[in-house]
Amino acid sequence: MPASTATARVEYLLVIKAIRYVSREFGRIETDSPTQDGPITRRDIDRVVEAVHGVSTEVRALANHVVQAVQPSRRAQTASQGRDQDPDEDGDDKAEEAMAHMSGRRSKGLAKHRSSAQMKLHKSVMQHTLALMGRESAKSPFPEASVAKAQIVRGWRREEGECCTVQSFCLDLSATPGSEWNQSATNVFVNDFIDVGTYECKNRKLIRHAFMTHFRTIKRQYDRQCADAAAASRGAKVDRSAANREKAKEQRKYNSHQRRLYMSLWYPELRKFAPLLRALGPDGMSSDEGEYVNGILHHYRIFLKLWRHPQLVRLLRILDALYRRFRSSEGQGEARGNRPHLRYLSQDESANTLAVPGLPQNAYEPAWLAALRPLPRQDLQVDENDLDFSIDPEIELEAAPFLQATIGGQIYV
């Protein structure tokens, strides 16, 4: 079967599955004789189609046929159900995913969550790596023989053969996954992973990619253990609280961006804002800081980004409200997982005053933009074309009940 045909077949099945999910929510869809009990609108079908990434032209045509078949007489009051998504990744590599944004490896688009097959492969790679390196768990110390010594790495030549064997497997944890030694060690790993016959995946390319991704987790574990050992030798302990708080703050910004971008794609009326959300990225989101009462996290304080135009801020608040609705009993969002945390507005300015470049002119606060000197203004690469920030009144009505909440006299957004 040609690749294009196979892809279209998969997309067709995904849309049918999603439409069936909608039919269970709104009532059975009888295409021969539509009823008034379960109205399905074009907007509903569009949302289903948008929820399935990479839908082909043929599948979109299918959605149009479905709309013509059901022809409801009134507009549905809720959005159709999107695809399930689970933000969790497998075991030790969860931290790797969480820190990827700070190292610049995360894109500004929606996260692509691993499939069950990918998660199974990564778990198998983790288990096999532990076995080859003689470790019982991710918290186990690294045996001396499992870490290549610098003088041995320098003396090794690729033409002499692989850098190690299965019995003497070791990695150069002072280098990157792409170093010559680690590339050779990866060959040894992939060959043994397949030869043991225990694991389901036999695709060398996939196994290699999974191992090289896991390498960063291994290196981070090793560096952490080395730092702890060095501190212990001085009778001290490594304090990671500040670094952990900063990582958590960056992760919240990333999560906020993901939620807002997802909502802009979920509603057909808001898709015109998706390019702006992608351009903003996590760096365009407000920072926040946790506030504690008697050692217990109470809420988060939002820091202002003075360069953002009020209409841009309003758009972001509406997207937040729509996400809260999406996750509430009135929406169709996934019931599992943490809800967005409580945040309140402060008058404190964000420590990061750098504006995101390349946005439409009317996304920047006018007085802030006018005050820029020529060179900073040039560096900002402002798009002189204005963006239409108008929002469908029906969308605003959906968002209104969820825009803010007052708890104990404090207004949260």
pLDDT score, position 77: 33
pLDDT score of 74: 26
Whole-number pLDDT of residue 300: 82
Residue 412, pLDDT score: 77
Listed by start position, the domains of the chain span 3-70, 114-238, 242-412
**359 or 98, which is more confident?**
359
pLDDT category at 294 given cuts 50, 70, 90 is low
How far is 265 from 47, CA to CA, in rounded Å?
A: 8
What pLDDT is recorded for position 100?
Answer: 43
The tens digit of pLDDT for each residue in 326-346 reads: 988 887 766 666 677 778 777
Segment 200-225 shows an average pLDDT of: 96
Find the angle CA(193)-CA(196)-CA(201) to the nearest 5 degrees. 50
* Confidence at residue 103, expressed as pLDDT on a 0 to 100 scale: 43
Supply the mean pLDDT for the chain. 78
71: left (phi over 0), alpha (psi -120 to 50) or beta: left
pTM over 0.75: no
Nearest partner of 172 among 159, 155, 160, judged by Cα: 155
Is it the case that residue 49 has pLDDT exceeding 80?
no
Distance CA 78, CA 67 (A): 16
- C-alpha span between 127 and 214 (Å, rounded): 11
pLDDT tens by residue, 232-241? 999 999 999 8
Average pLDDT over residues 57-84: 36
Measured CA to CA in angstroms, residue 268 lies from 47, 146, 311, 391 at distances of 7, 53, 20, 11
